[in-house]
Structure 1
C-alpha cells in the first residue's frame, strides 16, 4: 500500500538503519548477485527518504560497488521519478512510457536522455556504462546466438493482433504462434507444490486419508474459479482455488487441476458443498470426514480486491469469505475435520484450531496449476508432507511488533514506514520477548518421525575479525568520452514515428540547441552542478566488496556440521526431513552486538527415506553467517573469532535437537534449548 508516487502523495519511505539493511534486507540481493543475476529492478517506494529509482546509495553504493553487480538496473513501470538524477544515481534502463501519467507515451528519458548527453548534464561515460551493462547481461545469458525470437503476445490471446499495440493506429499481423513449450514441466510444478505443503496439526493421525473415506468437502476454495482459471484479469479476485496472488506479474494458467477434481479421482464417496456459508447437511455418520477449504489473498496495490488494497488491510489475518466461521460450523457438526489453507502468508487460527474436532490442518500456500494432485498426494498418503512454515503463526496480531502488525494509513505527504523492530522480525522477535507462537517458523509435521544423531562439527577455515582485504578493482572498458556531434541525434531521414512509441532521436533544432547550451556553459566557465561527491574516476571501493555479491571471503565455509537423519517412524511410511541449522552468537558478544537468540543460516531437505533408512546431512556455516555488520568500519565483523558459537540443528526454530560448539568442536544431543 502507498508504494507508488502520484500527484497527491509520494510513495512511502522504508526507513531502515544500516545494520538492519545489511543483515536482513540486502542479504538475499547479495546471494542473487553472487549467483550471477543479470538485472535488478528498482522498487516504487523510497528507502530512507530517497526514491529507489534514484537512490544513489542503494544503486551505486550498495548494489554496484559493495555487491559488485555487473548487470543493469531497470525501473519498474511508473517507478521512474526523474531524468538526470536517476541516470547519475545508477539507473540503467527505463521501462517504456514511464512517467506518472502513462497514457501520454512519454518518458523522463527517451530523447531527453539524448538531450542530457549533448548538453553535458549526463556524462558520456555514464551513458557508456548503461549500454555496457545491458549488452553484458545479453552476452552473459547467452542471448547473442541461437536465441528464439518472441512468438507470443502479452496483449492478446488471439492469433492475429496489433503489431504496435500501444499505438492509436497499427497494422495487423500474427502475434501468437501458440508454441507449446510445456513438455513435462507439470511434473516439476507438481513436485514444487507438493514439497511445500505443510502439515501443522494431525491429532490422532487422522491424515492420511483412505481411498475408502467418506468425505464432505466445504468451501469454494476447493474448486477452480467457475468462470475459468484466468477469468479475472491479473487474477484480481479471490474466486475458486487460490493458486497465486494478483498483479501485473501473474501468468495465465495453461490448465488448472483443482483439489475437488483430484479428490474425486481418489474417492467415490464425496459430497461437495460449493459454498462458503455452512449449508444444511444430513446428520453425519461417525466415519464421515469434513474437509474445509479456506483462503487468504493479496497482491499488487494497482488492484483492490474485496476492499484489500494490495496488503490485507481489510481482511487482515482472518480467512477470506468468512472462512473461520465456516471451519467453526463444520467443527460443530462433524467429529473429524481437516482444514486446507491456501494463503499468501500467516493467518490467525485461534478461533478454531484448538477445537477437538479439528484434527488436521494443512497449509498448501499458493500451489499454482497443480493444486489438485499435489494436495491429493499428501492427503491420501502417496507421500508424507515435507513442507515447513516460512513464517511463524502467532496467537494474536499484536504478538508481532507494531511496525509490522499495524498497517500504515493514508496521510498527507509521504508515509513514513520506520522499521523500528530492526533485526527482530518473526521468530527473532518472538524469541527475544519469550512469546510462544501457535506454530513456529520452520514448523512442519510428517507422517513419520526422524531422529538426529551422530552429529559432528569441524572447523574449515580459521577466522579473523574482518575478512581479508578485497582485491584491487580491475580496469573498466575504455571508450571515447567525446560527446557526439548533434547530427548523430537527428531523426533519420524518411523515418516515420509511431505515436506513443519512444525514440532516442531529437529534432535538428533541439539537438543543435542542446549542443549550443553546452558550448555556452563551457565558454563561460560554468558546468552542470553534479551532486556532491559525484566522481567519474575509479575508486578503491568498500572493504566489504571485491566480487559479485561482496567480498569473496564472506562465503568461505567457517564450520561444517554433519548429522545423521534416520526415519524411525512406526507407521512404516517414508518421508523427507528438513534439517535446519541456526546460529547462536557467543553470549558476551551477543549482548554487545544485540544479536537474535538464534538465526537460521542453512537448511537441507533429505531424500525420501524409507523406514529405518538414514542419510548423513552436511550443513555449512560461512564467515558471513557468523558475522555482524560493523557500521563504523562498514565491513562484516566476526565479533569473537575464538568464542563459543552455538550451531543448533533441528526441525523448526522451536524444535532444536542438537547443539554443536565452535570452541570445543563437540556436539550434544537433546540439549536445553535456548528458546
Structure 2
C-alpha cells in the first residue's frame, strides 16, 4: 500500500516533463526522492556518495539539490577548516558556545536536559549553515583508559539509550541531522583503525548495540557514522552483516550511513557493504598522494565504472543515492529547518544548567574530629585567604581532545567563577603543575624541574591559606582525554597525587575538584574531606562549579560510570592483554555482559564510588514500593521525601534482576541486576513526590544465542529501588 501511495502521489505531483517535485517542499519526501533520481545521471548519483571537501559531500547543482554541510560535534560546532586541508580557516565569525561533554550530560540523569542540550546545540549548527552534526556518541565505556570516553554516555546501555533519544529528537526537530557514532564497538583508541573486536552475540545485542537500536527505533536518527575498527574481521564502515543485515534490514532503518573519516578501504566492500557516503579517504594505496583527489575515492570513479560495467547493479547505486537524497531533503532542503542563533544568553544558560546538574559530589565530610557540618557548601566569606591550586583552574578545557576541539567566544574558568563570588575575600592562585600543550597525536614532554618549582610555589602559598581548593584531574592532551590515544595509567598525571597529599597535610580545609571523562585512582581520598567531579563543563565551567561549591545550586549529578579503587578491579583486566588493548590486533571482550557495575557485582569487588552514585546537600527518604498490573505492564510506585533542609533533586533508580541468577552459586550467566529505569525528582524541604516506573516484557528480555532473537524468561524477578547501583533502599518482587 505504501508503494502504491508513493506512485500515485508521484503521478499527481509530477505533471508535465519539466515538473520538479523534488523542489516542492510540501511534497512527500519519498516522492521528491524518486523524482530527483529520475532526472539524475549515473555520474550525478555517484557524486552524492563521497566527499567533495573535508566536511561536505556533493549535491546536484544542475538540479538545485544542495550539498551536505557537515561538522564535528556534539559539544558544539567545530571551527571552519580550509576546504581541502585540516588547517583552520581563521574565520572571525565561527566562535560558538561549548556545551558540556556527553559524560556530563549522562551524569545529569535528566531526559529533559538532553532535550534542552539537543535543541540548543542544533540552533548553533543551523546558524552556522550546517546540515549534519557528527554526533552524538554512545559507545560503551568498558575501560577507564579510553581516550575518547568523554564524548560518550557512560558504561550502561540503558542510560545511554535513554539520554540519547531526546537529544536526537530535539536536534532533528530543528532540521539538523544527527550522525550517531561510532557504529559499533569503537570502545578504545589504541589500534582503533585496525583492531578486530571479538564479542559474544549476546553481549553485542544487550550491551553494545542497545543504545544504537534505541536511537534508530525511537529517535529515528537520520544518519549514523561507521566505526574504524573491525567486527568479524570486516571494517565496520562497510560491514555487510552489520550495516545491511542488522541496521538496514532487521531494524528497517532508512537513514544514511557515513564512513568515519578515512574508514573506507575497499571499493567492492563499500559498494555492497552498506556504506552510503565515504568521507575523509586520504589515499587508496595506488594513486600517488600528491595526485589523489575526490574522484579517486572508493565510491567515486572506481564505483561508477563497476556500475556501468554491470558488475554492481544499478539498484545498489539508486538505493545509496536515495538515502543521501533523503538526508538532504530532511536537512538542507527542509523548509522547517530553523535559522538558529549563536552564542545567545539562552545557550549559555543551558550550558550552565547542564553543567550544574552533571557535576557529581563524591565526598563531603566534616573537618576535624568534631561532629560539625560538612565542609561543603562553602561560605567563602568565613575564610580570610583562599588558595586555588591547579592548572585546570585557569586552563580552557574546550581546547584539545581531537575532533571535538572547539573555538569559543568566551570561557569562564573555575578561578574566574570563584572570584566572582568572593565578595572581597583574598583569593590566591598557584598553578601547582604544568601539563604542556594540547596536542592531537604526540605527547608534549614537561620538564620535571618546572613542575617541582610549581609544586614548591603552591606548597609555600598553602601555608598562608585557611581554605584550599585544588582544581585538577585530566585534560584533553594526547593520552589524557583525547582522540587517537588511550591513557597510559589509571593515575592522575603531572604529579597531582603527590601535590594533593602534601596540600592536605598543610591544610585540612581542602576541596578537591577534578575534571575529566574517565575515572582515576585516588590514593589521597582519605586525606581530603570534600571531592567534586566535573567531567568537562564547557563555556560556563567556572559559573557552574562556583554555584555548586557555594551552595547556590544543590548538586544532583550521579555517576554514569563506576570508579574503581584500583585499575585491576575493572572486569576485563583479569583477562590480560587479549581483553585490552588486544594482541596482534585482535581484542576479546572476555568479560562478556559484565561491563562496569555488572562485573563488579559478579566479581564481588567493592568500587570506590559505584555506578549511579552522587551526594546532595540534602537527604531523601524512600517509602515502601507498591506494584500493580495495568494491562501488559506492571507499575511500580514509591514515595520519595526530602527530609533535609534545602531543596534538591534525587535520581531514583530501578534495577531488575532474575532471582535465580541473583542467587545462583553455579556459573553466573546473567547480571545480578541491571538498570531498567530512572526518575529524577525535584523536591523542596519536607515535600514528597511519587516516582513511577512502568515495566513490561521488553524490560526483562535477554538475547537467546540459540534462537538468535529476544526472549523473556519466566520466573521471579526482584525490583531494586535505590540511589545508586550499590545503595538499594527498597526491594519489590514480580513473577512472570
Q: Please indicate, yes or no, whether the TM-score normalized by the shorter chain is above 0.5.
A: yes
2:413 to 258, 271, 279: 258
* Equivalent in the alignment of 2:537: 367
2:472 is aligned to 294
Q: Secondary structure at the match of 1:212?
A: helix
Correspondent of 2:606 among 436, 442, 447 = 436
Alignment partner of 2:687 out of 608, 613, 616: 613
Distance 1:75 1:22 in 2: 22
Three-state SS of the structure 1 residue aligned to 2:305 is helix
User: Which of 698, 719, 726 is 1:624 aligned to?
Assistant: 698
1:313 aligns with 2:491: no
Alignment of 1:423-502 (within 5 A): 423-462=593-632
Distance 1:407 1:326, change over 3 A: farther
Q: Distance in 1 between matches of 2:359 and 2:496?
A: 19
Alpha-carbon deviation of 1:560?
Answer: 2.3
Partner of 2:324: 134
Deviation at 1:244, TM superposition (A): 6.7
2:429 pairs with 1:272? yes
Give how far 1:649 is off: 0.9
Query: How far apart are residue 254 of structure 1 and its match?
Result: 2.0
Q: Is 2:627 aligned against 1:575?
A: no
Between 1:102-111 and 1:187-196, the stretch displaced more is 102-111
Q: CA deviation at 1:433?
A: 1.1
Aligned pair 1:219/2:390, yes or no? Answer: yes
- The answer to whether 1:202 aligns with 2:386 is no
- Aligned-residue offset at 1:317: 1.3
What is the SS of the residue equivalent to 2:625? strand
Deviations 1:399-458 (A, max 9, x none): 113458966799999511110000011111110111111111111000000011142222
SS in 2 for 1:645: strand
Structure 1 match to 2:267: 83
8 Å CA contact 2:662, 2:672 repeated in 1: no
Larger RCO of the pair (alpha carbons < 8 Å, separation 6+): 1
Q: How does 1:321-336 map to 2 (within 5 A)?
A: 321-336=494-509
Listed one character per residue, the Cα deviations across residues 598-630 of structure 1 (whole Å, up to 9, x for unaligned) are 1111112112x1110122121233433201101
Kept in 2: contact 1:319–1:347 (CA 8 A): yes
The answer for the alignment partner of 1:587 in structure 2 is: 660
Partner of 1:419: 589
2:728 pairs, out of 640, 656, 666, with 656
When residues 631 and 589 of structure 1 are mapped into structure 2, their CA distance, relative to the original with a 3 A threshold, is farther
Question: Deviation of residue 99 (structure 1)?
Answer: 3.5
State the 1:96 CA deviation: 4.8
Gaps of 5+ in 2: 1-145, 148-185, 367-373, 434-453
Matched, 1:602 2:674: no
Map Cα deviations across residues 172-222 of structure 1 (whole Å, 9 max, x no partner).
xxxxxxx74535200001011110000010012100000304321111111
Q: What do the CA deviations read for 1:340-370 (whole angstroms, capped 9, x no partner)?
A: 0101110011x10012xx1000001111111
CA distance in 2, matches of 1:273, 1:137: 51
* CA contact 1:80–1:108 (8 Å) conserved in 2: yes
**Root-mean-square deviation (CA), in Å?**
3.0
CA contact (8 A) 2:389 2:471 kept: yes
Checking the alignment, whether the CA contact within 8 Å between 2:578 and 2:588 is kept in structure 1 is no
Take 2:591 and 2:197, find their aligned partners in 1: how far apart are those partners?
A: 12
Name the SS of the counterpart of 2:699 in structure 1: helix
CA distance in 2, matches of 1:405, 1:391: 20
Q: How far, CA to CA, are the matches of 1:307 and 1:147 in structure 2?
A: 34
- 1:564 shift after superposition: 1.4
Q: Determine whether 1:249 maps to 2:422.
A: no
Can you give the 5+ residue segments of structure 1 that lack an aligned partner in the other structure? Answer: 152-178, 224-239, 463-557, 665-675
Match of residue 47 from structure 1: 231
1:202–1:359 contact (8 Å) kept in structure 2: yes
Equivalences for residues 546-557 of structure 1 within 5 A: none
* Map of 2:279 onto structure 1: 95
Q: Aligned match of 2:641 in 520, 543, 566? A: 566
TM-score for the superposition, normalised by structure 1: 0.70
Which has the higher mean CA deviation after the structures are superposed, 199-208 or 316-325?
A: 316-325
Separation in 2, partners of 1:405, 1:327: 33
CA contact (8 A) 2:216 2:253 kept: yes
The 8 Å contact of residues 475 and 481 in structure 2, kept in 1 or not, is answered as no
**CA distance in 2: counterparts of 1:16 and 1:653, whole angstroms:** 25
Aligned twin of 2:4: none
Superposition pairs for residues 147-166 of structure 1, below 5 Å? 147=337
Instruction: Report the CA distance between 1:325 and its aligned residue.
Output: 1.4
Query: Could you tell me whether the CA contact under 8 Å between 2:622 and 2:640 is conserved in 1?
Result: yes
Provide the rounded CA distance (Å) in 2 between the counterparts of 1:62 and 1:270.
Answer: 57
What secondary structure is seen at the aligned counterpart in 2 of 1:458? strand
Aligned to 1:164: none
Matched residue pairs, number?
A: 508
Rounded Cα–Cα distance in structure 1 between residues aligned with 2:647 and 2:557: 15
- Alpha-carbon distance in 2 for matches of 1:308, 1:345: 11
Q: Note if contact 1:298-1:312 (Cα within 8 Å) is conserved in structure 2.
A: no
The structural deviation recorded for 1:260 is 0.3
Q: Deviations over 1:492-530 (max 9, x none)?
A: xxxxxxxxxxxxxxxxxxxxxxxxxxxxxxxxxxxxxxx
Change (3 A) 1:622 1:134: farther
CA 36–98 in structure 1, closer or farther in 2 if over 3 Å, else same: farther
User: Quick check: which one's helix share is greater?
Assistant: 2
Residues 583/140 of structure 1: CA separation in 2 closer, same or farther (3 Å cut):
farther
**What are the equivalent positions in structure 2 for 1:466-545 lying under 5 Å apart?**
none
The aligned residue for residue 513 of structure 1 is: none
Could you tell me how far apart the structure 2 residues matched to 1:16 and 1:403 are?
16
Q: What displacement does 1:595 show?
A: 0.8
Return closer, same or farther for 1:562/1:140 CA change in 2, 3 Å cut-off.
Answer: farther
Other-structure match for 1:354: 526
